[in-house]
Amino acid sequence: MSHGLQFDLNYTWSKSIDLTSDAVRVGFNSGLSSGLGGIINTWAPNQLRGVSDFDTAHQFNANWILELPFGKGKALASNAHGVVNAIIGGWELSGIARWTTGFPSNISNGATWPTDWQLPGNATLIGTPHTKTTKGTDANGPFVSVFPSPLPTLPNGLGLGPFRHDFPGESGTRNQIRGDGFATFDAGLSKFWKMPYAESHLVRLRWEVFNVPNLTRFDVASITNGLDQGAAFGKYSGLLTNPRVMQLAVRYEF
């Protein structure tokens, strides 16, 4: 710790490629019932080669603890004693921040698929999907979608926009889209008092706020992803983030 400040910053760039996996946040084998979490064609497993379900290209993390410069022995009011020092001294400000780019997810053939497999599996990508978390309203009320506008239907009902149903022998394209990444900022303010009868005994007051800016990030793994889902296609039903929460605690340490 230098001048009352301790911090750590780190950035990670990565790319993970495999034949099958599961996103950590949705649980092991979460997609096996629809064919999205396993190899469909064991004769040609490389058909499913793509970015991993948990792939995160960019990730930034930061954490810090700052001793506020007030009170006895500090830069400001260094001569404070007694009650004054008990009030203004011993404060610490801490925080944790995390930001990532978007997580990948699959578009499914849906309930009807023209392949010779017994599972729906992934749809085949034939264009460039444009994703952007977008709010809207339809006959069912407000919604949030991973697509900025409705996708056009392909001729003969073969699919939607850049996605088409698989043909016999195909396994589709894995992780064709990316949705929101994760972003959060948590902070805490704490103060301690040394007990006059023993300096190793402390009373610590701590106020913590989780998701300080109350950010909302939607989970792309929760979208309605079947090509046969009509107006519901692409709509989110779950979040990556929790609403802002505060807690206040008093602790006696010895």
CB 34 within 8 A of CB 120: yes
Pairing of strands 163-164, 124-125: antiparallel
Q: What is the pLDDT of residue 94?
A: 96
Reported as a single tens digit per residue, the pLDDT across 6-50 is: 999 999 999 999 998 876 655 444 444 444 567 788 888 898 899
Sign of the torsion angle spanned by Cα atoms 221, 227, 228, 233 = positive
Dist CA 84 CA 6 (whole Å): 26
Provide the strand spans (E) within the chain: 5-13, 17-18, 50-51, 58-67, 91-100, 104-105, 124-125, 134-138, 141-145, 159-160, 163-164, 177-178, 183-195, 198-210, 245-253
Question: What pLDDT score does 28 carry?
Answer: 40
Which residues, listed in sequence order, are joined to residue 195 by a DSSP beta bridge? 198
What pTM did the predictor assign?
0.79
* Widest distance between CA atoms in the chain: 84
Q: Mean pLDDT for each consecutive 10-residue tract of the chain (254 residues)?
A: 84 94 57 58 87 94 91 69 73 95 91 74 91 91 92 82 90 91 95 81 92 95 91 93 96 89
pLDDT at site 64: 96
